[in-house]
Structure 1
Amino acid sequence: MSPAMTQPMAPVRPQGPSPMGQAPSTMRGFLLDEAEDDEDVVSSAGSGPRQSPGGNGPSSGNRGASQDGESALGPATAQSWPRAESPPATPADGLDGRSEPHHLIAELAEQAAPDREVPLHVQITREPSHEQGSIPLRLFPVPKKGAQLTITVTAQGLRALGDLTQELIVYPGRDSDVLYFGLRTMASGLHHVTVRAFHKGTYLGAVHLQISVTEGGVTRDGPRRRAVLPGIAFEPGEATLQVHRAEDGSFSFQLLSETCYPPELFRYRGGDPGEATEQIYDQLREAASRAGRASPADAAGLKKRLKNEGVQLWSSAVPEAIQRQFWEQADRITSFTVLGEHDFVPWELLYPLDKDHDNGFLAEWLPVVRRVFHQDRVHQIALPGAAFVMPPGSPAEAQLEIAELRNLLGPGVTNAGVLTNREALTDLIERGHAGLLHFACHNAFSRSGSRVHMADGHFTPRDLATAVQTRSLRPHQPLVFFNACRSAGEIPWFSDSLGWAQNFLKAGASAFIGTLWPVRSDSAMQFAKSFYGQLLDAGQPLGQASLAARRAIRDLDGDPTWLAYAIYGSPAATATTQGHS
């Protein structure tokens, strides 16, 4: 592990208000060097099979990306709530029995001069909303005693004049009080402000605002922005870690569960943590390629080395305050969600450990799910049909994988066919595909981007730009499973993120599953079969289905593929083969 990961994160204390055992299997994916051109890619992925390091079977490729991010949090006050260790309440538990939609409303000036105080007002109301960009959540009765929500604010380039984490109570049949957040303008430019609502550890929705700061500018009120919250349900036991990267390179972590903790601001002493993460991925890629040929002793040694990597990652990449808070809540946490745009930490590899606790990797202990900002919270994933992507040059096992998955999905899921051309794939996405979109192919990855070589050219995250802009997938909110190497990260592109997961989610997908490093094809197929079986046949929610799939392939001769999958979505979301109503 590189020095960047072996040195702990040092706290950045704000001074006043802060600125914002098997035969060798083929490997899926290949890592491209920056010097390689498109012809090299074609010859690697589209020509005849290459021999794997073990000499058996065709070789395959890999997939991936890295990322970019958002703002900084100001100081906040720690506030605790009563423990809720039982399932969601029923009317007999003190609910009025009514379910009604709620709306997160935020108001902020859209223009002001530098060094001006600009108030931000936030409220939860019952008024109807006809604006686009709403984030729907399921209906849920509000307790008669009220539901206590946490509101957090991130304000890039503005100065906080007080706490940016506050709480409000929502009562049945009433609008909430109005919260006031004090902000002061600083440098000229266009600045982004985001207001997020949480119910205990469950993320409900967000409102995004902008303010233009110009010399001599007259303060001008901005329009009311809102996000629809049809319900304010929380998932008992869900904890959310909200992560931001500030403009100065520091990171903000905030743990939200049954207790609301203040943000913790930290800076890496060893430089960019992404460099150390890349070294870890390189080791895991090598381990996956050797796993089928490893002796029992080698497999045991790899498992121990993986544990040490995970423990080191936990101790160096997670602030000590967050570690303490996690252990305080650990016996009440049933799922763990990471909310943020920055995949600088492979969260699935974390191995929480102290002298009193050793429960294994976080991802074998709890469902670990990621969420990105601007992503809808979906409670039911509709899978009325399934389309598969398998271009020429895909792994030898891809055809078998698709056949077995078709059989597993059954006749209740319409077969939308196998796609081999980029044009047909982009048309399907831009028309708004309903159901499952499953990729079983190679993903060529380099530091400058990621691409799938289709029969008529490369399919890249930029080919999703129209779908992102029009939110074409939102009406049906499909599930996208990118069962290819390194498909879950991001690549910074013109100050924005350019990755498969982020772009599919921003286009309106309900969930995305991808890998963080090259994986073995046989392990990848087993993970997919176990996941779909748990999600559809066993009726498990997304988080639990992914946890069961990890455990199903965990003991394959030291193969680390079970830790490679990143799951994006709502951990409590369930699946149905019926279409959206």
Structure 2
Amino acid sequence: MSEEPNVFFDLGTLCLENHRSSEAIKHFQRALELASGIATAPEDWRSARDSKCLSGIGVAYGHLQQYEESWRYQELAHQRCRFNPHPLIQLAVLSARKNEPVSVRTFLAEAIPLMKDSPYFPDVKPLKTYLLTAPELEKYRGVVIYLLHRHGKVSQRAYELLMRLWQEGRLNRLETSFDVDAETAFTRQAPGGMPSEGFGDVFLGGLAGPKEEGLEVIRYGQLGFPARVPLQRPQALRITINRQPAQDEEGQVALHLFARQWPMKVVATLVNVRPEDFLVEGASSGVIEVPKDGDSEPLVFVLVPQSPGPKTVRVRFEQDNTFVTTARIHTEVIERAQAEPGQAMVEAAPAIEPRGLPPNFTLYIERDAERTYSISVCTGDSDPGVPAWRVGELTFEQEGSPGLYMRTRFEELDATVTSGVAAARYADAVERLGNNLYQKLFIRGGLDSFYWEQMYPRSKQRAGGAEAWSAPTVQIVSDEPYIPWELLRPYRDTGQGIEVDPLFFCERFALARWLDVQHSASSLDLFKVALVVPPSNLGFVQEEVDAFERMQREGRMKVERIESKEALDTFLTRGGAHVVHFACHGRFEQEQPGRSLVMLGSHTSLRPDDVTGKYLAFGRSRPLVFLNACDTARQSFGLTGLEGWAETFVRTAGVGGFIGSTWQATDELACRFAISFYELLSKGLPLGEAMRRARMAIKSSGDATYLSYALYANPRARVRRAAV
């Protein structure tokens, strides 16, 4: 193996030590280029070398006080090798410069466990010395000392000495702690002046904002209900959350919860129990307290069967104002006097990933009857023990509505995209459609006052007059397939006239949808990309390809190019990608949504019905799937329920996120949108906010392509910063 990359890396390191930062950047870049050309080198060696070079470039930019570039390269270094502690420590230092204590603690907590003697990063002692002396981390020194001790990097004796010296130094300088909760933690001391046992939990829980920290735990919801129940006889639905799974899995659902404090509080709510099926005696919602080392006490709902036949009872689970899952209990009401033995079958969601902060607003759109949907809302800052509250309902009177209504509107939009209608006329048509949707969905549905009293003021507070403001997050959890929530354009009568919101719903909020059966991923990787680019007449596809190849040359991702149906089938059975990106043509089939397609050449295509059986293997890595093709976000009811690309990828394949277009998109703007989205995501923006800003980047007079994209994901999900 050639040592030439190591020579340039050493030269870059030497230049850094001698404060020749510009020269250091050139040497590290040259080392990066040479290392990429050694095809026979082990993958671990290449990823470690790339990460070191990228981190060195980041340090050099930091010395030049170009902190944004420094941040970017440190993030790239971490993405390239997640076992390198150096970029995480540098990100902590940069966060300290920006006075962001939450980020400082997060990066340090991830970096310090990675500090170990290894063939690739053999410098534990210099790192430890740097952490204990770096001036940027001075007021965070207590965090550093505690984490070093917790992960075995300093002895108990050294820990006590370092902590005492740090505390004395703070007092001598009359220095206050950077966080009130941290100060409280330090004053909870055992005799002798050192923190008591349990100090670590208080320290870590308080420092970083209690809502963001915690540990993912799996508990098992046991939903006890008979398989057959007699008419008019009250029946108990008994729900417990257990530490261990039961041997009989018939009535069980796995719950991936987030332990921030014990006992955990989980809200269970009966969803839209129809009076013609069951009457509910007593409350339809309750809180289950889950202990750390045992099973919960039971929560009991009493249901009185009202009519014979197969029935489904839905139970929604929430924790910390965040949707966890919906379980479906399938039972049968019979006319016999006694219930028959046996457990009702419980249909539950696949496993979910841990979550951070809840969305600012969660809207549940849940089917009540054939054409009626209830609307419930939950705010991220409400009491975690209070379930979402019902604010209204949507009733679609017309047969085939709203599918027929929206299909007609989408066809009109498609026609305007291809016919070259004047810009002002097109913009007016889109705004009118947005106003109509708001009137029919929010005003008639009962959400109008909630929007203007809570959602709109929150967005105004967050904007603060800045162009690059971060919007509040909105998650719409729905089993309704037709409505383009992104297009809503609110308005109201103020008494002095009609006030129209200058922004569409997806412009004002970091908006994401999700289906009602599983939760989306809270984090994602952005390194291994499967790029599906079959032959087509789309003029700007090559620009998309060029952008991915540029990011690959920069060491930001590894791209596998797929150009045929055969190659795609092979990938679907193998998987392993973090992102699956399609750049091609698409077509939606309203009557048979499972037969919708994306074109993979002049005579081949992929349909939702094709993604089944062994072709679901790609979903095991929970990738983000981006179908940058027309009409790929639309859904409809098929043979046994919802069908379409979102249903196939999200519910069936279990991906972490999905992006598609609701109507025809302009080729050039679709390309620009995708490039902007990935750039923003790689800079650390959450999915929902990256989506919103990518829309704004392509917003142009007379073209509504920026409104056509729909995101199915956790809006707060970010590119992962820690090894999984």
Shorter-normalised TM range: 0.7 to 0.9
**Could you tell me whether the CA contact under 8 Å between 2:403 and 2:636 is conserved in 1?**
no
**Could you tell me whether the CA contact under 8 Å between 2:288 and 2:299 is conserved in 1?**
no
Quick one: percent identity of the two aligned structures? 24
TM-aligned CA distance change 1:400 to 1:237, over 3 Å: closer
Q: Does 1:123 align with 2:240?
A: yes
Please give the alpha-carbon distance, in whole angstroms, between the structure 1 residues aligned to 2:234 and 2:686. 45
**Could you tell me whether the CA contact under 8 Å between 1:379 and 1:573 is conserved in 2?**
yes
Q: Which residue of the partner structure matches residue 446 of structure 2?
A: 321
Q: Which residue of the partner structure matches residue 390 of structure 1?
A: 533
Q: CA deviation at 1:310?
A: 0.9
Deviation by residue 1:267-301 (Cα, 9 ceiling, x = unmatched):
234551222212221222233235xx56xxx4234
- Which of these residues, 548, 560, 573, is aligned with residue 693 of structure 2? 548
**Which 10-residue stretch deviates more, 569-578 or 514-523?**
569-578
Q: Does 1:351 align with 2:472?
A: no
As a proportion of its length, which structure holds more strand? 1
Gaps of 5+ in 1: 1-86
What SS class does the counterpart of residue 547 from structure 2 fall into? helix
- Which of these residues, 390, 395, 416, is aligned with residue 262 of structure 1? 390
The 5-angstrom pairing of residues 9-24 of structure 1 reads none
Residue type of the alignment partner of 1:244: E
Please give the alpha-carbon distance, in whole angstroms, between the structure 2 residues aligned to 1:274 and 1:228. 28
**Could you tell me whether the CA contact under 8 Å between 2:330 and 2:344 is conserved in 1?**
no
As a proportion of its length, which structure holds more helix? 2
The 5-angstrom pairing of residues 2-151 of structure 1 reads 91-92=205-206, 99=215, 101-103=217-219, 104-127=221-244, 137=256, 139-142=258-261, 147=265, 149=267, 151=269
Please give the alpha-carbon distance, in whole angstroms, between the structure 1 residues aligned to 2:318 and 2:345. 20
- Which of these residues, 190, 195, 200, is aligned with residue 315 of structure 2? 195
Q: Which residue of the partner structure matches residue 304 of structure 2?
A: 184
Please give the alpha-carbon distance, in whole angstroms, between the structure 1 residues aligned to 2:493 and 2:297. 45
Q: Does 1:479 align with 2:624?
A: yes
TM-aligned CA distance change 1:99 to 1:511, over 3 Å: closer
TM-aligned CA distance change 1:544 to 1:286, over 3 Å: same
**Which 10-residue stretch deviates more, 363-372 or 238-247?**
238-247
TM-aligned CA distance change 1:137 to 1:525, over 3 Å: farther
Please give the alpha-carbon distance, in whole angstroms, between the structure 1 residues aligned to 2:563 and 2:721. 21
Q: Which residue of the partner structure matches residue 511 of structure 1?
A: 657
Q: Does 1:204 align with 2:318?
A: no
Q: CA deviation at 1:432?
A: 3.4
**Could you tell me whether the CA contact under 8 Å between 1:199 and 1:232 is conserved in 2?**
no
Please give the alpha-carbon distance, in whole angstroms, between the structure 2 residues aligned to 1:393 and 1:402. 13
Q: Does 1:363 align with 2:479?
A: no
Please give the alpha-carbon distance, in whole angstroms, between the structure 2 residues aligned to 1:414 and 1:113. 59
Q: CA RMSD in A?
A: 3.5
**Could you tell me whether the CA contact under 8 Å between 1:99 and 1:231 is conserved in 2?**
no
Q: CA deviation at 1:485?
A: 0.3
**Which 10-residue stretch deviates more, 299-308 or 496-505?**
299-308
State how many pairs are aligned.
484
Q: CA deviation at 1:187?
A: 4.4
Residue type of the alignment partner of 1:413: M
Deviation by residue 1:427-462 (Cα, 9 ceiling, x = unmatched):
322333421111111113333341123356332110
Please give the alpha-carbon distance, in whole angstroms, between the structure 1 residues aligned to 2:655 and 2:353. 20
Q: TM-score, normalised by structure 2?
A: 0.60
**Could you tell me whether the CA contact under 8 Å between 1:539 and 1:574 is conserved in 2?**
yes
Please give the alpha-carbon distance, in whole angstroms, between the structure 1 residues aligned to 2:587 and 2:546. 24
Q: CA deviation at 1:227?
A: 6.8
Deviation by residue 1:483-504 (Cα, 9 ceiling, x = unmatched):
0000012232213222011101
Please give the alpha-carbon distance, in whole angstroms, between the structure 1 residues aligned to 2:254 and 2:564. 33
What SS class does the counterpart of residue 611 from structure 2 fall into? helix
Please give the alpha-carbon distance, in whole angstroms, between the structure 1 residues aligned to 2:706 and 2:473. 18
**Could you tell me whether the CA contact under 8 Å between 1:139 and 1:231 is conserved in 2?**
no
**Could you tell me whether the CA contact under 8 Å between 1:158 and 1:191 is conserved in 2?**
yes
Structure exhibiting the larger radius of gyration computed from Cα positions: 2
Q: TM-score, normalised by structure 1?
A: 0.74
What SS class does the counterpart of residue 391 from structure 1 fall into? coil
**Could you tell me whether the CA contact under 8 Å between 2:313 and 2:330 is conserved in 1?**
yes
TM-aligned CA distance change 1:235 to 1:412, over 3 Å: same
TM-aligned CA distance change 1:268 to 1:440, over 3 Å: same
TM-aligned CA distance change 1:335 to 1:187, over 3 Å: same
**Could you tell me whether the CA contact under 8 Å between 1:426 and 1:463 is conserved in 2?**
no
Q: Which residue of the partner structure matches residue 555 of structure 2?
A: 411
**Could you tell me whether the CA contact under 8 Å between 1:201 and 1:238 is conserved in 2?**
no
What SS class does the counterpart of residue 617 from structure 2 fall into? coil
**Could you tell me whether the CA contact under 8 Å between 1:140 and 1:232 is conserved in 2?**
no
**Could you tell me whether the CA contact under 8 Å between 1:102 and 1:230 is conserved in 2?**
no
What SS class does the counterpart of residue 633 from structure 2 fall into? coil
What SS class does the counterpart of residue 678 from structure 2 fall into? helix
Gaps of 5+ in 2: 1-101, 104-180, 182-203, 383-387, 460-471
Q: CA deviation at 1:342?
A: 1.4
The 5-angstrom pairing of residues 275-286 of structure 1 reads 275-286=404-415
Please give the alpha-carbon distance, in whole angstroms, between the structure 1 residues aligned to 2:576 and 2:283. 39
Greater relative contact order (Cα < 8 A, sep 6+): 1
Q: Which residue of the partner structure matches residue 465 of structure 1?
A: 612
Please give the alpha-carbon distance, in whole angstroms, between the structure 1 residues aligned to 2:354 and 2:581. 32
